[in-house]
Amino acid sequence: MTTLNAPHPPTAEIPVDDALALILAAVAPLPAEHIPFSQAAGRVLAAPVVAREAMPPFAASSRDGYAVIAADGEGTRRVIGEAVAGGVGGLVVTAGTAARITTGAPLPAGADAVVMVEDTTPGSVALEHGSGGDIGAAGGTDRDRGGTGGAITVRRAVVAGENVRPVGQDYGAGEVLLAPGAVLGPAEIGLLASAGAVEVDVYRRPRVIVYSTGDELVEPDAPLGPGQIRDSNRFAMAEAVKEAGGEVVFAGHLGDDADDVDALAAAVTSADVVVTSGGVSMGHLDLVKPWLATNGTLVFGRVRTKPGKPVTFALVGGTPCFALPGFPVSTLVCFELFVRPALRAMGGHADVRRPVWPVALAHDIAHAGDRVEFARAVVAVGADGRPVARTTGFQGSGRLLSMAGANALLRLEGAAGLARAGDVVPALIIAAVGGGA
Ligand code: AMP
Ligand code: MG
């Protein structure tokens, strides 16, 4: 492959919303893969999960108490034994009898309801014979209370079905438990375990190669020499990839040197997505954008946004490549605006964008009048329930501190270049919002 040593001519500057639309038109969900359910957290289902059995699979008590025949009403019953969770059954409740039962135990044959233990009184009359029951698996029950083999008095009559979870109350065999597109969180993973769905079809996670570029960069543990700064973008971008559901297959650093930048040739063939920072401005050592233009197709190379004007999106051999500007805030804001939605789409998420809330500004904010500016802010919900935003201080695109702790990007636009306290503006919510504004 050839590399250029000269800056690429400026490309047309396009609106920020057009840039995202171009990206989303260029990416698609990756193929599905079949993986163990326990490794599928955060993934998106590509095929439905169907229940093989009903849940519950047997009529089960939802309380600790006594299994009875509801029609017997109130009064004293002979206790014939105990049904415990995990027990195999075998008790038969007949008129005038009850079986002690624990939560989750199968309802004994003949019984049609459970009286809570709180609605019973231990019987005072010891009756002559109690049957053994299926005392077994689950420990921890107080076997004395109520008197297995004794009697109990039901103080409050129950109706048939009371405190019983019937077969299939949650779902029936053959029912679709999770549809394609479902995102697998803790509840969904639990559901898969419960249904015995130990393998699932999910969209593959995008495999991403990350490169920071710049001769001035040294490793985080290095002392700083003259003119040097520590590489922060490589690490911030790698975390952002993971947060977006991608897999970082390699994260490295390239110098401002044509041979170094040529490493991108290998990257585009071994990853689903390549993300770089730096090297997209107009300096003669900004080699990333020229490399992409020479070796692939630039979809766009300038966006009417602040920060992030020189952000570049290219397809090289079909691989989406994002070349983000090097200022650390520009890098992360552009990642939010452009890379994250692409990674989400490739991972099969239907919902690729952050939520946008209307938020009231707590103070005036000056912004660029000629571009859409994304100001880093903390949004909090006030006592009146309305979200209020404050910026994180000086908004320089090199000031990573302005991104630290921010949970929102305020979208500020308009030729006046000034948003007033009390104005309501759209905010991309990028992290959890708390109270206390
Ligand atoms: P560039 O986009 O390469 O012109 O870089 C713009 C600014 O961001 C320069 O001040 C760089 O030193 C700084 N910068 C570039 N890459 C990084 C990085 N990986 N970590 C921290 N700062 C960076
Ligand atoms: Mg640079």
Q: 66, 100 in Cβ contact below 8 A?
A: yes
- Is the CB of 216 within 6 Å of ligand 1? yes
To test the pocket of ligand 1, the residue of 232, 260, 277, 302 to mutate (highest count of ligand atoms within 8 Å of its CB) is 277
H or E element, residue 215 = none
- Cα diameter, the chain: 102
- Is the CB of 231 within 6 Å of ligand 1? yes
* Residue positions counted in the chain: 437
pLDDT in tens, the chain (437 residues): 444 444 445 589 999 999 999 999 999 999 999 999 999 999 999 999 999 999 999 999 999 999 999 999 999 999 999 999 998 878 999 999 999 999 999 999 999 999 999 999 997 554 444 444 444 333 333 333 334 569 999 999 999 999 999 999 999 999 999 999 999 999 999 999 999 999 999 999 999 999 999 999 999 999 999 999 999 999 999 999 999 999 999 999 999 999 999 999 999 999 999 999 999 999 999 999 999 999 999 999 999 999 999 999 999 999 999 999 999 999 999 999 999 999 999 999 999 999 999 999 999 999 999 999 999 999 999 999 999 999 999 999 999 999 999 999 999 999 999 999 999 999 999 999 998 76
Question: Is the bond preceding 122 in cis, omega lying within 30 degrees of 0?
Answer: no
Residue 283: Cβ-neighbour burial (10 angstroms; 0-12, 13-18, 19+): exposed
Ligand 1, atom 8, lies closest to the CA of 327
- Atom in ligand 1 nearest the alpha carbon of residue 232: 20
283 C-alpha to ligand 2 centroid (Å): 9
- pTM for this prediction: 0.90
